[in-house]
Amino acid sequence: MHTRSMFERNYQDALPLVLLIDDDLVTREVTATVLTMNGYAVHTTKDGAAAVALLTPAAGQPQPLRPDVILMDAQMPGLSGTQLIGELRRRSRARIWVVSGSDPPSDIMAAADGFLLKPFSAEALRELHQCGKLETGASLVDGNDPVTTEPVVSAEILAQFRKLMPEPAVRQVYETVVADLGRRIEALAAAMAQGDHAEVRRIGHAIKGGCGMAGALEAARLGALLESFDISGDNQLDNSADLLRDLRAAALRLQNMLNAEMPA
């Protein structure tokens, strides 16, 4: 079980204690970092089962976690969706907000207390907590226009990171993004070769969410295309090869930006 206590609650007690559940490493780390640097206390888990365990009294555990807000990704392997929401409700009085890069299924929306669209800001979480109603949170950056001239990284998000944390920590965020993107590209190539449509869409969703939170605009846009891409049919082979090539190029440009902007 992967659990991190990101911040000791020795001040700003008005802010809610947050439990973040997301299977994507980049999204989990970036979200936790942004919230922590804004004064939130954050615990993270990589799946629903680990989150349920945190909320359940057990021998050797002084007391279960009692979060005020639970943020859960809409799409995760294993215990997820409405089933996870039911398990969380049986163990916690926390508000449960779904976070996703696109509109979640209607049954999940109905079961949850709120919805935040990735990428979201700490201010969006604060506003949602204060008003306590279902709404879409404000994004860190407007990344909806699929233009081909977008920068490798959002200048706005990079500036926010630099205000929140020292330069070595900012570099670590993007090193994590680059490493994770490399792993996902290899998995994507294998899924495309096998014609595994569901896995291609799942990887695309993860890339869109993780890179979007880090402001890696080019990679996030390509992830969104992959999430909706149909690789069936011979006429799609060239297109899938093009997307894979573009994603590799985006990862290389992200690494080059990192080396130029934040040399080790």
Q: What's the domain range around 186?
A: 155-261
**8 A C-beta contact, residue 219 and residue 243:** no
Q: Is residue 139 situated within a structural domain?
A: no
- pLDDT band, very low/low/confident/very high, at 163 (cuts 50, 70, 90): confident
Residue closest to 38 by CA, chosen among 106, 113, 121: 121
- Where does 150-196 have alpha helices with state H? 155-164, 167-194
Tell me, yes or no, whether 100 and 202 share the same domain.
no
Q: Residue 205 pLDDT more than 70?
A: yes
Record the pTM: 0.62
Distance of CA 220 to the CA centre of its chain: 11
Q: Name the domain boundary from 64, 99, 131.
A: 131
Tell me, yes or no, whether 55 and 161 share the same domain.
no
Q: What is the pLDDT of residue 46?
A: 92
Tell me, yes or no, whether 20 and 97 share the same domain.
yes
Q: What is the pLDDT of residue 59?
A: 61
Top pLDDT among 143 and 116 is at: 116
What does the block give as tokens for 170?
């900012």
Q: Is residue 149 situated within a structural domain?
A: no
Report the domain count for the chain.
2
